[in-house]
Amino acid sequence: MGHTETLEKLHLIDREHRYLERIIAVLQWDEETYLPESGVEERSEQLALLEGIAHARLVSPETGRLLEELGSTPDNAGGDEKLPSLERDFLKTFRHNYDRSIKLPGDFVSAAARAEGLSQAAWAAARRDNDFLAFLPHLEKMIDFSRRRALYWGYDDNPYDGLLDIYEPGMGASGIDAVFTPLGAKLSALLKQLASRPRPDTSFLDQDFDAEKQACFSRDLMGRLGFDKKRGRLDISAHPFTTTLGDDDIRITTRYLPRQVQSGIFSTIHESGHAFYEMGFPRELGSSCLADGASMGIHESQSRLWENVIGRSRAFWKAMFPVLQSYFPEALSRPNAEDFYRAINLVEPSLIRIEADEVSYSLHIILRFELEKALFSGSLTPAELPAAWRKKMKEYLGVEPETDAQGVLQDIHWSMGSFGYFPSYALGNLYGLQFWEKLNADVPGVDEAIAAGNFSPIRSWLRDTIYVWGRRLAPEDLLKTVTGKSLSAEPFLSYIESKYNGIYGY
């Protein structure tokens, strides 16, 4: 069998694996959006079965044989050096997924999927009822599954490193520490400095904003940003997310809080940023494992760039405030675009990560990163989490949640077993600003385009410069290729300082 034929067979296995992953994504999307309450239990069984099937097909002996024929080994994942570079990149990524999968027993994969489905539902109920103890047994199970996953994969020091690797390959806890420690110190100092300055007026945000009208504005807004509604949609879930159900079926969710209109808006922009990345992979990567983000940190760089750097900018609201006003003519009759810009950029330590301002946001992440590290090193038990959470909130942000719903239960991630994901958000802030610097160097008049409601220069640059690579480059290589530099917090910190100096005049 020649390489061409072998590659074709492997591409088929890869494509069918992705179809199965996307069917799983349909089931999960449905679970978060429309599944009737009593349907959760059987849905978990369905997910367990399908995860098991997908896993068994991927790690079948045939896959191993085909990889071998192409010269791909754990040490030379790209295979035969005479293969075209696109195929070698494909083999590297495919082999990475395959090596990870084959280390996990099929029963383990099914059991984890079953437990995750139940755990998510239990989390949603526990958060609603503010009942951490009801969620605790699920949380313990999720930690146990993650620990075993890390064991199967192998790790040097802490199993947490193995988990971090899923989301940000190669960084590890110590690599992240090295970035987060100085970042946290600088942000804390800035936070203290801003606390002594006069607070922008936010009183007009403290009104009732009809949820149905919020939804209409969100749909309008995503269209203006360039979201192709033939290839995706917007729904409502307890926790906003983006999911890819097909090459041409990328869905986002948001939530509408009647007395916090900005929450639905910025979630919509954030998830649109993820969706643009998923929608923007070149067709030549097709439905292959290369049509994927470089890492979760890079993915979050896209969402947080749109949400914050673009979406919370003065230029953005110059264009969009009149639009928002047209949906809420009465509630927003008093403020002008500048008032709105200042209000949504209020810096104030608060309880909820996804509502946090840009200055304090990364401190929410550092807190979670440290708790995860402690959980997996064994120095913290799951039962101790609520108290540890409150203590660290007090320490880093000076505020303490009155309820666990506003504390340790606020995020969905742990209920899905996604330990190690949180650092991606803060890394995304850093990557994002490095990309943004380069974008502004390459494209003249970005601010003016935004102020005119024209986002196509931004989208084109992102597509041609970042999306085009899919998962062909590792995050650090992508960063180097695009910006010529390594990971650095400087662009982020100088953006923050200049922006908030402008608002607060400190």
3-state secondary structure (DSSP) of residue 45: helix
Minimum CB separation of residue 411 from its own copies in Å reads 26
| Pairing state between β 232-236 and 242-246 | unpaired
CB 260 within 8 A of CB 216: no
Identity of the residue, 227 or 461, whose beta carbon is nearer to its own copies in the bound complex = 227
CA distance 411 to 139: 12
Identity of the residue, 43 or 373, whose beta carbon is nearer to its own copies in the bound complex = 43
Q: In sequence order, what are the beta bridge partners of 253?
A: 235
Binding flags for its own copies, 85-124, as an x/- string (CB under 8 A): ----------------------------------------
Question: Is residue 35 part of the contact set for its own copies (CB under 8 A)?
Answer: yes
Identity of the residue, 39 or 175, whose beta carbon is nearer to its own copies in the bound complex = 39
Minimum CB separation of residue 115 from its own copies in Å reads 17
3-state secondary structure (DSSP) of residue 47: helix
Of the residues 7, 10, 11, 22, which one makes contact with its own copies according to CB under 8 A: 22
DSSP annotation of 306: I
Catalytic residue, chosen from 32, 116, 271, 300, is 271
CB 428 within 8 A of CB 435: no
Nearest one of 304, 324, 318 to 261, comparing CA atoms: 324
Q: What are phi and psi of 453, to 5 degrees?
A: 70, 20
Question: Is residue 55 part of the contact set for its own copies (CB under 8 A)?
Answer: no
Of the residues 1, 8, 34, 129, which one makes contact with its own copies according to CB under 8 A: 34
Minimum CB separation of residue 270 from its own copies in Å reads 20
Helix or strand run (H / E) with residue 233: strand 232-236
3-state secondary structure (DSSP) of residue 246: strand
Binding flags for its own copies, 150-189, as an x/- string (CB under 8 A): ----------------------------------------
CA distance 372 to 421: 10
Per-residue b or e along 400-428, where b marks 16 or more CB atoms closer than 10 Å to that residue's CB: ebeebbbbbbbbbbbbbbbbbbbbbbbbb
Identity of the residue, 144 or 247, whose beta carbon is nearer to its own copies in the bound complex = 247
The amino acid sitting at 65 is R
Question: Is residue 219 part of the contact set for its own copies (CB under 8 A)?
Answer: no
CA angle 491/492/495 to nearest 5° reads 85
Kindly state the number of chain residues that form the binding site for its own copies, as judged by CB under 8 A: 36
Minimum CB separation of residue 249 from its own copies in Å reads 3
CA distance 119 to 135: 8
Minimum CB separation of residue 352 from its own copies in Å reads 28
Binders of its own copies in range 242-271 (CB under 8 A): 245-249, 251
CA distance 194 to 28: 41
Helix or strand run (H / E) with residue 254: strand 249-254
Question: Is residue 438 part of the contact set for its own copies (CB under 8 A)?
Answer: no
Question: Is residue 284 part of the contact set for its own copies (CB under 8 A)?
Answer: no
Question: Is residue 231 part of the contact set for its own copies (CB under 8 A)?
Answer: yes
Compute the residue count for the chain: 506
Of the residues 5, 8, 42, 129, which one makes contact with its own copies according to CB under 8 A: 42
Listed ranges 26-34, 296-304, 353-361, 479-487: which one lies at the site for its own copies (CB under 8 A): 26-34
Annotation says 32 is catalytic: no
Identity of the residue, 22 or 368, whose beta carbon is nearer to its own copies in the bound complex = 22
The strands making up 232-236's β-sheet, listed across from edge to edge, are 232-236, 249-254, 242-246
Listed ranges 39-47, 191-199, 257-265, 445-453: which one lies at the site for its own copies (CB under 8 A): 39-47
Residues catalogued as catalytic: 271
Q: Which residues bind its own copies (CB under 8 A)?
A: 16, 19-20, 22-23, 26-27, 30, 34-39, 41-43, 45-46, 49-50, 53, 228-233, 235, 245-249, 251, 287
